Structure 1
């Protein structure tokens, strides 16, 4: 039996209760776990996490007090991994374009077709799973590289850039033999066997790690 944290959860934030309930009913009728929030404040108060099972956030773009755009801004600033789908009313396309520029997955203009809504949810949840997997790979790579000393990391980086032992030694102003010893330690600690594997590991930990 699947645990709750292994199942995707769709959060719907809309201040119109009948519309919010209709979306929750639609989502649950096709098997999604869905949670409704009547305001951005209510969502922030609960502060749900995006679990390994994935999920997404469906936001009305205009709401009293904290708008959907403001909630998106706050979540981005906090590094939230939630993919966001915006719901817009007539004449709000300009706001929706702004939301897309700020990282929203899509926007749907009310009223929208059920199947279009469900297809967009599917796409956003898939994106959340991809983000979660990428974050996990990043974290694991970072943990592996943290096993290295400062000098070992310097050697690892130069080797990943394709430098031979002699070139790395010259750059670091140490002996060839010292580089050779560090290289062995690096390969043992990281479980890698080539400069290419080392490069992939460093780039998973930091996309700018070889700049």
Structure 2
């Protein structure tokens, strides 16, 4: 599975063993301007997972073989962040409620309200784009951080902790001028112009990693 630009997040994967319903969903979703891939069961979707585009999944909750919930669990186990919308029969509502608690976007009872489904798809794809953007930013920050030398990292840690240059110099047993040199290198490598920006980036990184 590749991670490309945001235009990729217009893909919807429909998983349903009911041929007629699956075809009608494809027709509806394609008509709304999305790219659609359709699968008759969870197993065929998982088989294609390594080559398909990122997107959201619209899945029946009850299917022969793996159920929609089992498919959802399989995606989470593989760390695949596809947001999922479940389609359910009336008797499956308690099961689908559990899926919501586990992180599904929504469950919609059949027959599905077309406008509601399309709204949930748009919401799901927006969430996917936000999550992927967050992950990319986190990876970029970690990559920049990894480029710091051990001494630069020591200075970085103290700068984001609010140390003044003199305090850093005293603690590391180096001159204030040397601290200024290392500090400038840190700012350049981290892509920041101001200390406040560096501190904010670090705080955000810590929060998203927590």
TM-score tier (shorter): 0.7 to 0.9
Structure 1 gap ranges (5+): none
Count of residues in Structure 1 that have an aligned counterpart in Structure 2: 205
Match of residue 40 from structure 2: 38
Structure 1: distance between partners of 2:62 and 2:191: 51
SS of equivalent residue, structure 2 residue 63? coil
Task: Quote how far apart the aligned CAs of 1:34 are.
Answer: 0.8
Query: Are 2:160 and 2:199, in contact at CA under 8 Å, matched by a contact in 1?
Result: yes
In 2 relative to 1, CA 152–200 (structure 1 residues): closer, same or farther, beyond 3 Å? Answer: same
Post-superposition CA distance 1:136-172 (Å, at most 9, x none)? 22222222222112332232132112222333455x5
Match of residue 62 from structure 1: 62
Structure 2: distance between partners of 1:99 and 1:200: 35
Match of residue 138 from structure 2: 138
1:105 aligns with 2:105: yes
Match of residue 6 from structure 1: 7
Task: Quote how far apart the aligned CAs of 1:57 are.
Answer: 0.7
Structure 2: distance between partners of 1:208 and 1:169: 31
Post-superposition CA distance 1:43-83 (Å, at most 9, x none)? 110015675xx631111112222111111112112221211
Q: Within 5 Å, which residues of 2 pair with 1:85-164?
A: 85-164=85-164
Q: CA RMSD in A?
A: 2.6
**Range 144-153 or range 108-117, more displaced:** 144-153
**Normalization by structure 1: what TM-score?**
0.84
Structure 2 gap ranges (5+): none
Query: Are 2:15 and 2:38, in contact at CA under 8 Å, matched by a contact in 1?
Result: yes
